[in-house]
Structure 1
Amino acid sequence: MQVFKFGGASVKDATGVKNIASVLQKVGYENTLIVVSAMGKTTNALEIVIKNYFENKTLLQSSLQEVKKYHNAILLDLFENESHPAFKKIATLFDELNIFLTTNKSPDYNFVYDQIIGFGELVSTTIISEYLNAINIKNNWIDVRTQIKTDSYYRRANVNWEETQNLITSKFNKNVLNITQGFLGSDSNNFTTTLGREGSDYTAAIYGYCLNAESVTIWKDVPGVLNADPRYFENAQLLNKISYREAIELAFYGASVIHPKTLQPLQGKEISLYVKSFLSPEAPGTRIGKNVSLDPIIPCFIVKKNQALISLSSLDFSYIVEENISDIFNLLHQYKMKVDVIQNSAISFSVCVDNLFNNLDKLLHHLRAKFKVTCHENVSLYTIRHYNKNAINQIEEGKTVLLKQLTQETVQVVTK
């Protein structure tokens, strides 16, 4: 059994849908499940629908019409005439969405978000399934909500593994090509839930685990996992192999590799994860697995922009000890700061944070009651795994280094 996941960028238009068929024909699709995200920027467009639902009802239908028009254009490019059943199926899905928008009574934003946002995946997989059937790649469309069960923590639901395993084991037909939605599940009341960040990759991993798959492949528009983000670093190189542990380390430091929650179920059953290019499907890509050495062993660069470096020292030159540090961390937690680097000495404490919730001013005001505080905003945090001297020089050149921390495998540098 193999699981393939295709993201929104791979199916942003009719050409992308046709390319999925081409990928399947080139690499084979026997004993295969395809997990697909919403098409292109559909999730963003549906978020505008949700915003208008709560804040500006006069724009609600026009924003929904934009989503319909986008998908209808793809349908018209894929199917010769509008009598094809795909048009009716998509119209029915949008009718369901409209019924929800007119009958919903819940004021809970997170609940409403999940009920609306999931139509992106339902529509994309329906179009792709119908197209594959039309070109004689016969497949079975699965509503993922009937197989992945979760709690009711809307927008970041937790999987009920036992129930999910039982449903997938009892309902899944391995003898045909199957296609289903990423990102979605359902709770005990059969309301739609979503799995949070990188939810579609996670869906692929859930199915991989429950089906005891041989492998899971995530298809992207890059040749695999690179040692650096090519937007910020020149000459990024392909990593042929990475261990689960290394991938989790890279993700922890902020690399857009694979989210750790995707790796955890695969690691449990030692299922290999591949990252490959849907533009060059026969190229080997990157393999992530157990006891796999990094290949090639080269420095891996990660940068996080727009960070804040907060430096604290005691007002009376007393030591910063456990009690002070406990107070500092309580405040960081209270103001929802994501901590990326910590460094402390006898009378000072520095922390580099991601101000995700715009609470920095409140935090600084609170800290100044107890400490002397310096804050550098809009700094960059560079992390290098498997660093060498040249790699460090490369990121420090022409910058002011505000903080530097080295361990055996990793160096982190905060620069202005």
Structure 2
Amino acid sequence: MTWNLFSPCPRGLEPALAAELTGLGATTSRPVAGGVVFNGDRRVAYLANLRSRLASRVLREVGRRRYRGPEDLYKLAAGIEWERHFDGRHTLRVDTSATRSPLRSLNFATLRIKDAIVDRLRERTGDRPSIDTRAPDARVWLFLEPQEATLYLDLSGEPLFKRGWRSGRDDGGDAPLKENLAAGLLVLAGWTPEQALADPFCGSGTIAIEAACVACDIAPGLSRDFGFERLLDHDAVLWAQLRGEAVRQAQAGIARATALRIAASDIDPEAIARARRNQERAGLPEGTIRWQVADVASLRPPFAQPGLVVSNPPYGERLEAGPAPGAHDAAMRAVGASLRSDWAGWRIWMLSADPALPRQIGMKENRRTPLFNGALECRFFRFDVFAPGERPERPRPPGKPSPQ
């Protein structure tokens, strides 16, 4: 049976996610704002949860209709065979999102969906699910457009960027980069495991760990569970087969990855300590990533052969810029000077919400790609560092793409 599926992702990664899902077997993959609409059977849905590095969730469409008011939403939900997916032994959560919906209250729309689900299950099974907003067994999403409502069954449970290796207690400090956005930066930068990679602002190590997991063929969902495992129609045999294949591939990938060139550094020793613990929880052997406590302004390239720098520079406090006005700009100028003088031949990619980043580091960007880090609008800047006497690329005519 072919399912209609939707995977949200960080805005800006939709085309990359569509290509990834096609590679996982989706029969169609169409990027839309904020995600990808695709088709596939149960195997594809399970694989998307297990192996997608870019998706935030995998949602299965279970109902759709035009609506004018909350009672139309009740009729939509009441006509769906929820008893095939969960029953009164399960806990339930319903969430609503909307784009230009005419309804005055999304909370009331959510309530009518809950009422319809509970009423149907009580009628069909004699029992009703309890509501649990923290850790539900089953999660239903209502998406409202101006005239059409769609209901989805969440197959993921926890968001897919939660790989299972990051500890909330152990990951204090600045909000870390989400794992699927970090993986997206590597895709957009064109990094492959054969290339050297450095992250000089590594924080808790997300970019470097994602890269090492790619190189070792560790499926991103290998260390966690999923919402579909708690549903009544779960195919445990198929899931055991897919997960077993992923375990074997990870074991083989780890055995092969003996000469990776992945390095990460941060000025904060506690950040490096957290990153090392995250690496261990991710199942990566010691030595996979070269960690270092270092100030970027005095950091030398970690490998003789140039490669890529992919990083998410923080604000001034982790650069030891101090509270003085203009200190952050001064620190970033020092970073730029170090990159220009010592990192010849490297291609530098930096994600920043500050459009002034190129001016701050004194480098002209070759490319800027719009991305969103949550609700924060960012740019993914590319800078090329040329060796003395090396000529930069000639300007290209408008509309002609430059190579990756």
Superposition TM-score tier, normalisation by shorter sequence = under 0.3
Q: TM-score, normalised by structure 2?
A: 0.26
TM-score (norm: length of structure 1): 0.26
